[in-house]
Structure 1
Amino acid sequence: MTTIAEACAAVLSTADPRAKVRAARRTAREWRAGRLVLDFAAPMPESPARPARPEFLPPARMARRGRAGSEAGRIAMLHAVAHIEFSAIDLAFDVAGRFGGQFPRAFVDDWMRVGADEAMHFALLDRRLRALGSHYGALPAHDGLWQAAGATRHDALARLAVVPMVLEARGLDVTPAMVERFARGGDGTSARILTRILNDEIRHVGTGVRWFGFVCAAQRFEPAVTWHKMVREHFGGSLKPPFNDSARASAGLTKEYYAALAAGEQA
């Protein structure tokens, strides 16, 4: 039988977007059915396979996305979110396959659900881009999410602190305004897709918060203080308001985590 680590590595090693979605869904389904062995001997790739497009550019060279009221602006925004969701597929399966052996089985259960969600999100966005006459890969993207994953590949606590609790939490802050802009521009279909993603991402951030807290409890660390330390050591950017405090609170990411760092204080 295939192991869970081998199956996760196979998702990461799949470059074609549609094939990656299929591999992600298949792996989550096989895990739920009990057809994957709980074994983590297989290593995760140092970086995931990528299609020939999109072209990767540094964040500073990325063009402004424009306004959601124009078709070009809508496409640019949706493409940016699609790339985030595409990267999030790899992030979910990497965290499960790379760190699952350090946690109870429920850790893998949770990240398989997250990975299946991310695959569904990407598929919805790619379908929407095609309906608008575009597709994933038509515009450049940047690889900041995976760079953060690479920087935390040797430390489960750092990975949980940075990827779900900083980078994915940022999506909770910015998505409501995107939904409003799409709705105001008359694109209710895209607004509904983004609303669905936002609701799922609250749960995904909550998954990161919960397992971060699990490690802190096991090590007798104070969670907020430990998170501050992890963010200062492993995250190169800054925490920028405004914050969606209610969505963050729903995910368990309360103000004691991020308020001090956002204010530039030493925690």
Structure 2
Amino acid sequence: MTSLGEAARAVLLTPDPHDKRKAARSLARAWRQARLAHRCDVRMPDQPAWPAAPELLAPNQMPKRGKGGSERGRIALLHALAHIEFVAIDLAVDMVGRFGGEFPPAFVDDWIGVAADEAMHFALLDRRLRALGSHYGALPAHAGLWEAAQITTDDALARLAIVPMVLEARGLDVTPATIERFEAAGDMVSAAILSRIYVDEIRHVSAGTTWFGWLCDRRGFEPAVTWQSLVKSRFRGSLKPPFNDSARHDAGLTQEFYAVIAS
């Protein structure tokens, strides 16, 4: 029987976006069908395999996208979101392959499900780009999205604090306004896709807060204080309002976590 770690590593080392998407879905199916042993017994790559396109640029080199009112602006925004979802596949799979052995099977259930969601989100966004005459890889993309994984390879608690509880939680803050931009432009198809992604993001952040709390309990740590310490030491950005307090609350990420350290 193939191990969970071996299967996760295979997904991470798949460069083609559509092959990676399919591999992530196959990983989820194999786990749910009990065809993978719950062993994380191989080393995860420091950097996943990615395609030659899109060209990856530093944040300060990224072209301005505008507000998404024009079709060109909407394509640029959809492309940026597709890249986020593409990298999110690897973030979720790496979570499983790197840390899954430290947790009960329910942890793997949750993060395998997140990986499958991200694969589906990427497919929806790329399909929409193609309907608008573009495709994933046609524009440059942000080079720094994997950084959160690189600085948290040593500790599952840090990974949970930064990836779902900071980065995905930020998606909860900005997605409603992005949906409104597409609706204002009359692009109801793109708005509906983002609405679907938004609902799933709440569940992803919830998985992060749930397992962060579980691991804090195992280590005898107070969750909110521990999260604040990890964000200060591991996250190179800042937490900026406005926050979507209601969605964050639904995901278990209450104001006691982030209000005291928000800039």
Amino acid of the structure 2 residue aligned with 1:49: A
- For 1:54, the equivalent position in structure 2 comes to 54
How far residue 182 of structure 1 moved from its aligned partner, in angstroms, is: 0.1
After superposition, the CA RMSD in angstroms is: 0.7
Q: Counterpart of 2:145 in 1: which secondary structure?
A: helix
> What TM-score do the two structures reach when normalised by structure 2?
0.99
Residues of 2 paired with 1:119 and 1:230: CA distance? 28
Give the length in aligned residue pairs: 263
- For 1:81, the equivalent position in structure 2 comes to 81
- For 1:201, the equivalent position in structure 2 comes to 201
- For 2:219, the equivalent position in structure 1 comes to 219
Amino acid of the structure 2 residue aligned with 1:233: S
Amino acid of the structure 1 residue aligned with 2:165: M
How far residue 115 of structure 1 moved from its aligned partner, in angstroms, is: 0.4
Q: 1:1-267 alignment to 2 at 5 Å? A: 1-263=1-263
CA-to-aligned-CA distance 1:125-180 (integer Å, 9 cap, x gap): 00000000000011111132211101101110000000110011100000000000
Residues of 2 paired with 1:206 and 1:47: CA distance? 26
Residues of 1 paired with 2:165 and 2:67: CA distance? 28
Q: Counterpart of 2:141 in 1: which secondary structure?
A: coil
Q: Counterpart of 2:51 in 1: which secondary structure?
A: coil
Question: Gaps spanning 5+ residues in structure 1: where?
Answer: none
How far residue 37 of structure 1 moved from its aligned partner, in angstroms, is: 1.1
Residues of 1 paired with 2:106 and 2:22: CA distance? 23
Residues of 2 paired with 1:149 and 1:143: CA distance? 13
Residues of 1 paired with 2:6 and 2:65: CA distance? 38
Q: Counterpart of 2:238 in 1: which secondary structure?
A: coil
**Conserved 8 A contact 1:145-1:167:** no
Residues of 2 paired with 1:178 and 1:201: CA distance? 14
> What TM-score do the two structures reach when normalised by structure 1?
0.97
Residues of 1 paired with 2:184 and 2:158: CA distance? 39
Question: Gaps spanning 5+ residues in structure 2: where?
Answer: none
How far residue 67 of structure 1 moved from its aligned partner, in angstroms, is: 2.7
Question: Which of structure 1's runs of 4+ aligned residues deviate more than 3 A?
Answer: none
Q: Counterpart of 2:128 in 1: which secondary structure?
A: helix
Residues of 2 paired with 1:145 and 1:8: CA distance? 19
Residues of 2 paired with 1:164 and 1:23: CA distance? 22
CA-to-aligned-CA distance 1:43-68 (integer Å, 9 cap, x gap): 11111001001111111111111132
Amino acid of the structure 1 residue aligned with 2:251: A
Amino acid of the structure 1 residue aligned with 2:18: R
CA-to-aligned-CA distance 1:69-92 (integer Å, 9 cap, x gap): 201100011011100000000000
**Conserved 8 A contact 1:66-1:72:** no
- Greater displacement, 75-84 / 137-146: 137-146
